[in-house]
Structure 1
Amino acid sequence: MIDYITEKRGLFQQMLLKEAVNVAEVINDILKQGNIDLLKNAEKLVVYILENKDADIVSFGKQEGVLWAKHSLTLAFKLEWVQAIRRTLWTLIYEYQTKVSFPSIREDFFELEKKINNNIDQFLNTFFLNYSYFKDELIHSQRKSVEHLSVPVIPISPAVAILPLIGTIDSCRMETIEEKVLTDIAKVRINTLIMDLSGIIDMDMDVIHLFDKVLDGIDMMGCKAVITGLRPELVKKMIHLGINFNDKAIKKGTLQQSVKEYLM
């Protein structure tokens, strides 16, 4: 069957393009955008399927999944293309058995049907899992980059820096704050870090405890923490939790007051 399909390569490709009308319209665009030759890859997949090469099917599915995710290619095109491969393959199998007068044995047919369709489904499952995994990793990486940008440690003198915090602080962002702050203290050799919380309206209880741990880390790095701009709502919550940071940070009313004092 493999030799037959190889000999009928031209017919195979024509049938594929006819089955997958939407993909046929963008097949050259996909080649240019992702350097993915759909026709060549279709033939490779068919050989793996007919030879029942599980390891090659899985490896090829991973490769294709990452490529499609990396170049942000439309998933609908991939699904349409693989289903076109399935239909075309079965059409050629029917033609092959008819021409070579292959004896029709029901058990053999169903065994063949099971193997081929299972192999195609395995390729699809592997493809989508790796597509999804790559996208999730990309989103996570982008989020980390954005979070690091939202934690700007700004030096205002050789020994003093400001960290203005704005918006919502959740546990994930607090972990980024801890990582960024401790790294920058060591890198820039900061002696005093002024943390302005005037842009923070509220923090969850768990986040307040994490912030307390960040202050521990700052102290262990030999740096002095100064907290400014605490809002009344946040102060009330801290009082009820029994947290005041008295032994871990100096508290000032405003950022301007602290900057003036520490620069002088």
Structure 2
Amino acid sequence: MEKLYKDEITSYIVGDREDFYSKLLNEADEVASKINEILQKGNIDLLKNAEKLVQFVVENREAALIAFARQEGIAWAEHSLTLQFKLEWVHAIRRTIWHYLKDYDKEENAYLSLSEFRILIYQMEKQINDSLDQFLNSFFISYSEYKDELINSQRKTVEHLSVPIIPLSAHVAVLPLIGIIDVYRIYTIEEKVLTDISMLKIRTLILDLSGITDMDMEVIHHFQKVLEGISLMGCKAVITGLRPELVRKMIQLGVTFDDKAETKGTLQQTLPEYYKPERS
């Protein structure tokens, strides 16, 4: 019986599509002017999606509601649509639902002194508000997760570009490192170095550290492990450009790279030893 009531209420709200759209747009002035823009930019039909949301909310279809919210969150994040509009739109849908429920209640009470429909409507109040809040919560989580994944992916791409392994010959390559190497970046360096040694068949890798401004203790220790990994890949590591401040820090920590790599002065001094241009 309760399901029949809810189906009837859903039909009452969205049965007359034009009337539903009109009332909804009146409740969301700012979003109303953006409907076509959002449709063109993100291929998102706000009015049709509002119908779907009303159905899921009124009929208390939790699984469908959450799936729909996550789908919407990804779509809005993917096209960088304004969250303020989404929030206003859902609140407008909330107000529109309650507008219809009040009218529905009045019509039923015109011929029933104690309407089961009215009791059901009051019982639905908490469920409808909870469902809409759950939709917003799932939407924002999905939106945030997509944005976080996008940022991490972009950061990883940038970090990989900042680890340029440059082949000098068939088996010799140079890796010039610049800037600050933090914990995140040293893992990127490790991944890129070991992958490229395998892919490019590198036998000698020259790591130029002249552009490194700082390395903390944890990074220095991990850099040693990177050198060990290079050796395990059957590749020789050559370090150039160690700066005085970095050498002093290594001395204070009792750390050395000598047993894991050959150290040279500058990259310019070292290149002629490993790079022999072919004569035409």
Category of TM-score, reference length = shorter chain:
over 0.9
Match of 2:77 in 1: 69
Which residue does the alignment assign to 1:2? 10
Specify the alignment match of 1:45 in structure 2.
53
Structure 2 counterpart SS, 1:157: coil
Report the Cα offset of residue 262 of structure 1.
1.1
Distance in 2 (alpha carbons) for counterparts of 1:108 and 1:137? 43
- Selected match of 1:185 from 172, 197, 203: 197
Which segment is superposed worse, 236-245 or 74-83? 236-245
Per the TM alignment, residue 111 of structure 1 is displaced from its structure 2 partner at its CA by 2.1
Distance apart, 1:100 and its partner CA: 2.2
Q: Which residue of 2 aligns with 1:32?
A: 40
Unaligned runs of 5+ residues in structure 2 are: 1-8
Partner of 2:5: none
2:25 aligns to what? 17
Q: Distance in 2 between matches of 1:262 and 1:250?
A: 13
1:243 CA drift (Å): 1.1
Count residues with an aligned counterpart.
264
* In structure 1, C-alpha distance between the alignment counterparts of 2:214 and 2:133, rounded to whole Å: 49
Rounded to whole Å, the distance in 1 between the matches of 2:176 and 2:250 is 20
What is the SS of the residue equivalent to 1:248? coil
After superposition, the Cα gap between the structure-2 partners of 1:38 and 1:125, relative to the gap in structure 1 and judged at 3 Å, is same
Choose the corresponding residue for 1:126, options 115, 133, 138: 138
Counterpart Cα distance in 2 of 1:77 and 1:36:
13
**Counterpart AA for 1:218:** I
Aligned to 1:168: 180
Q: Distance in 1 between matches of 2:34 and 2:24?
A: 13
Question: Counterparts of 2:115 and 2:158 in 1: how far apart (Å)?
Answer: 62
Cα distance, 1:6 vs structure 2: 2.7
The structure 1 residue matched to 2:166, chosen from 134, 137, 154, is: 154
Work out the percentage of aligned pairs sharing the same amino acid: 61
Between 57-66 and 104-113, the greater mean CA deviation after superposition: 104-113
Secondary structure of the structure 2 residue equivalent to 1:165: strand
Matched, 1:252 2:276: no
Per the alignment, residue 60 of structure 1 pairs with 68
User: Deviations 1:20-42 (Å, cap 9, x if unpaired)?
Assistant: 11111110011111111100000
2:103 aligned residue:
95
Normalising to structure 1: TM-score of the pair?
0.97
Give the letter for the 2:88 counterpart. E
Partner amino acid, structure 2, of 1:225: A
SS in 2 for 1:168: strand
Structure 1 gaps of 5+ residues are none
Q: How does 1:162-241 map to 2 (within 5 A)?
A: 162-241=174-253
Amino acid at match of 1:85: I
The residue type paired with residue 185 of structure 1 is I
